[in-house]
Amino acid sequence: MTDAATRPLRLAIVGLGTVGAGVIRLLETNRDLIARRAGRPIEVIAISARDRSKDRGLDLSAYEWVDDMATLAQRDDIDTVVELIGGADGPALTLARQCLSQGKPFVTANKAMIAHHGLDLAHEAERSGVALKYEAAVAGGVPVIKGLREGAAANRIMRVYGILNGTCNYILSTMEQHGSPFDQVLDEAQAKGYAEADPTFDIDGIDAAHKLSILASLAFGTEIDFGSVDITGIRHVLAADIREAAALGFKVRLVAMAECEAEGGDNVGLFQRVHPMLVPLDHPLSHVDGALNAVVAEGNFVGRLFFQGAGAGEGPTASAVVADVIDVARDEYGPAFAMPAEWLQRQVKADTGQRIGRAYLRFQVEDRPGVLAEITAAMRDAGVSIESVIQRAATADEGVLVAIVTHPGALSAIDDLLRRLGGSDSLLGDPMLMHILD
Ligand SMILES: NC(=O)c1ccc[n+]([C@@H]2O[C@H](COP(=O)([O-])OP(=O)(O)OC[C@H]3O[C@@H](n4cnc5c(N)ncnc54)[C@H](OP(=O)(O)O)[C@@H]3O)[C@@H](O)[C@H]2O)c1
């Protein structure tokens, strides 16, 4: 072995919260095994975070504390920087740019930064000829980045989709189990540490959209386009929707889905959507419960791949970060998005109205005659036909509830239907639309 391969890989770890502390704990616990797998020892040289005095439940006295992380990019005694701060911009991005431009390999778990700046960072990494690794940024401990970059690299991927936010999945599965309302389950999730104090990024679908835009780029060889993801979160899902979905043979899940529409082998439109969907009970995603994540990728030779595991938490996320570090130690890395950044294609956003699918519609309506007839007349006029319908007697909090599953049709017809019903004084509140995963 050459000297470069046997001398330790020397790390700086910036950010010592859930993931950073987990990375240190993992490197300490599995030190010898990791050294054998990596072909050389991996040593933490320097650490940095905001508050040096914070008790992190770890003895950090063996590591050099660095106040000014900007110095790390310049240091010859540090081979690789591991960023575990978070945030699309700010110190994480500054550090990434400094390290990559100085030729320092960079490992991160930061999906927000990769979704917004991954393309620029990939260009910078290639100019310097160093690794940019981000396995932990999507689906935590599940090796889906590696799966797509390497395992499925020979395939044209037609579709990639999954459950990418454990907080939403925990909330939806708990609502399903107990019939409890969203707000109550969110409060409980926050008390148990499954949801952040500010849960907006999770429950409004932004976190899942960050991850989806990264997966789409890898799967289709397209430039990351976070801005074109259509995003709807789970705030407006009622316990009644989950109950009616079950009666119709579905579970409700926040599904992130991307497809690259192709014509004659060329990609002609990128479809990316994060939306609560109805998942048929016989689909593997309907069995993904609690805080788990899962990703399905459909390749033209491999068929359907299904990845599942813990999408967050100290251990699983640290596992993914250290897997990236091991790749750097082995000198095994390629372009960040599986091909040189300049070969990634820029895509237009696909016209979603032309897509064909089934939909679930829920209306809360006045308890008086003629209301169902008004809805069905609007459906007829919009060209939307009904596959099944449930009407529930009025309750104090829900009014009369009408839940409809449509036959497959152009999604633009559903939009037309909702426009026609907009402003109807028979409706109590906005209708709920969820597409069906077929
Ligand atoms: N938690 C998960 O399960 C999970 C899963 C997948 C990916 N990720 C990603 O991993 C990254 C870290 O997440 P986390 O959950 O570990 O976050 P966290 O617990 O909030 O920890 C963040 C760390 O960054 C440090 N930090 C914040 N601002 C800083 C600044 N301006 N300068 C220096 N240090 C700063 C904090 O320092 P102090 O401790 O001194 O305050 C803290 O140690 C994020 O990108 C996140 O999206 C997390």
Looking at the CA of residue 137, tell me the nearest atom of ligand 1.
Answer: 7
User: In this predicted structure, what is the pLDDT of residue 427?
Assistant: 93
Query: What is the token pair recorded at 257?
Result: 């889905």
CA 374 – CA 317 distance, rounded (Å): 51
Q: Which of 13, 14, 18, 48 to mutate to test the pocket of ligand 1 (most atoms within 8 A of CB)?
A: 18
The answer to whether residues 144 and 119 touch, using CB atoms and an 8 Å cutoff, is no
Give the distance (Å) from ligand 1 centre to CA of residue 434. Answer: 33
Give this prediction's pTM: 0.96
User: What residues of the chain score a pLDDT lower than 50?
Assistant: none
Cα torsion 98, 104, 105, 110 to 10°: value is -20
**CB-side neighbour CA atoms (13 Å) of 61:** 1
The answer to whether 106 and 131 are in contact (CB under 8 A) is yes
Asked if 139 contacts 307 with a C-beta cutoff of 8 angstroms, the reply is yes
Q: How far is CA 204 from CA 210, 231, 307, in A?
A: 12, 8, 24
SS3 (DSSP) at 252 = strand
- Model pLDDT, residue 194: 86
* Pocket test residue of 47, 133, 317, 321 for ligand 1, highest count of atoms within 8 A of CB: 317
pLDDT digits (tens, 9 = 90+) for 350-359: 988 888 999 9
Report the distance separating Cα 14 and Cα 69, nearest Å: 8
Strands (E), 191-249: 230-231
Quote the CA–CA distance of 216 and 253 in Å, as a whole number.
Answer: 19
DSSP letter for 8, please. P
Q: What SS3 class is residue 145?
A: helix
CB contact at 8 A, 434 and 278:
yes
- Give the model's pLDDT for residue 398: 67
d(CA 163, CA 280): 14
Measure the CA dihedral 416/419/425/428, to 10°.
90
Q: What local confidence, expressed as pLDDT, does residue 4 receive?
A: 58
25-58 tens-digit pLDDT:
999 999 999 999 999 999 999 999 999 999 999 9
Active site residues: 211
Other C-beta atoms closer than 10 Å to the C-beta of 82 total 28
Most ligand 1 atoms within 8 A of CB, residue of 50, 51, 201, 321 to mutate: 50
List, in sequence order, every residue forming a beta bridge with 349; answer none if it has no partner. Answer: 270
Identify the residues whose C-beta falls under 6 Å from ligand 1.
15-20, 48-51, 54, 84-86, 91, 109-111, 136, 140, 312-313, 317
- For 266, other C-beta atoms within 10 Å of its C-beta total 9
Dist CA 260 CA 237 (whole Å): 28
For the chain, first and last CA: distance in Å?
Answer: 52
- Could you tell me the distance, in angstroms and rounded to a whole number, from the CA of residue 308 to the centre of ligand 1? 24
Size (the chain), residues: 438
Backbone phi, psi, residue 148, to 5° = -80, -45
Amino acid at 361: L
